[in-house]
Structure 1
Amino acid sequence: MASRRSAGGDEGMPTGRRLSPEARERQIVEGAVAYFAEVGLDGHTRELARRLGITQPLLFRYFPTKAALIERIYEEVYLNRWDAGWELTVRDTALPCLERFRLFEIDYQRRIDDYSWLRIFVSAGLKGFDLPSRYLGLVRERIFAPLLEGMRAESGLPSPQAQPLSADEFELLFGIHGALVYVGLRSRVYGIDGIADRDAVRAAMLDAALPGLLATHRRVVAAAASGTERR
């Protein structure tokens, strides 16, 4: 008996559903995001295929390896949610640097406060995937580096061209940033909720953290300069 075959070549599917190649890829990607968010990135493609109601060979026709599927998830969940407007905000010299940082964080944290975004990110770090380091590299270079350059200019400090940005400077911003991310992690990853308005909580955290940031930054830059001179 001839096997069933759709226009997209989806033969041998347990459900018998026929989808176009584009619709089938979309089904796999959306299903993979939901599956890996639930079980972690060490989940098995065989189980993913079972949940989707397709065969594993069909899944591999669209994504030949699990690594290729995870790369597609990275694009879908992380890169596609990146807002180029954030980069414009942190470079807007009409605003004080701390206000730029505030505006970025409020919008960014709202965007990533998502079950799949946070759970896949944590799982990727625990399982040794490079997804977090690659993504945080974007935050470092496209958001924090321009902010730190602006903070130096606002404080009358040497430019990054005269004195390269130090790791300690980046840590100042990543420390605040990470504390804000934790507000979402408590709910999405740890299952500890009770915060009715997470935007308001993050705004209050920024109110507490930002007033002393420029003075602390000046000390960090001075300490880095002294260390360079001693060497």
Structure 2
Amino acid sequence: MAPARRARGFTLVELMVALFVLALIAVLSWRGLDGMVRAQEQTRTRADEVQALQVGLAQWTADLDALVQLPQITALDWNGRVLRLTRRSPGAQAEGVVVVGWARRAGGGAPRWMRWQSPPLTTRGQVDQAWSRADAWAQDQAGTGSANEVAITGLLDWQVFFYRADAWTNPLSSDATQQVTVTPTIPVTGTGTTAATGTTPDTATAAQQTTSGTRTAQLPDGVRIVLNLAPGQAISGELTRDWVRPTVGGGKS
């Protein structure tokens, strides 16, 4: 009868080698999963940046499309810091108008392209105050409506051009305004001397006062912005966007 074979177990060295292999497989698996998670987060971040830029450009176009020209109120202006405009209120038409500002601001961190909007306005005084607040906001002055601002994208610098006289020009150039003559009619009853002019009007006609030299903003046929987007984003480098006034039609290049 053959002798029984003696059972043989794992040696300590074999056990340590097995544990080392399992640990190595676990580390490699973890690194692979971590890389996948990081890639997903980066892809999501890039997608959010692209979407934010698309929404910002769409809002830019919507603001210009909703421009409102009111008597003795500037509808569109660029002073080198902020592009301000007066547009219809996004809500009901009875809510009045809003003043919108677009500017490059630090906002407590890296410079970004940002948008500011006032509450709905119904009086000339409210519009004037909001117009001044938009300029103060663009200069990073504290307490000037940061709650109403939205950051769009990282921005190194930007330029604005207006399309006038079949050419893209600097909005700050001398042709930004035009000379007009205002001739309001002063109602007259009976005869005598008018308080406005100190003259005696003809009883057959109403006296008229002519005011010359008034300068009013000339609304351009188009607006071009050139954005120098900050590096490290989903979209960086120079980006140009053109807007053409709907009443003009056609493309500007």
TM-score range, shorter chain: under 0.3
With normalisation by structure 1, the TM-score equals: 0.23
Q: Work out which of the two has the higher radius of gyration on C-alpha atoms and give 1 or 2.
A: 2
With normalisation by structure 2, the TM-score equals: 0.22
- Using CA pairs below 8 Å that are at least 6 residues apart, which structure has the higher relative contact order? 1
Q: Which has the higher strand share?
A: 2
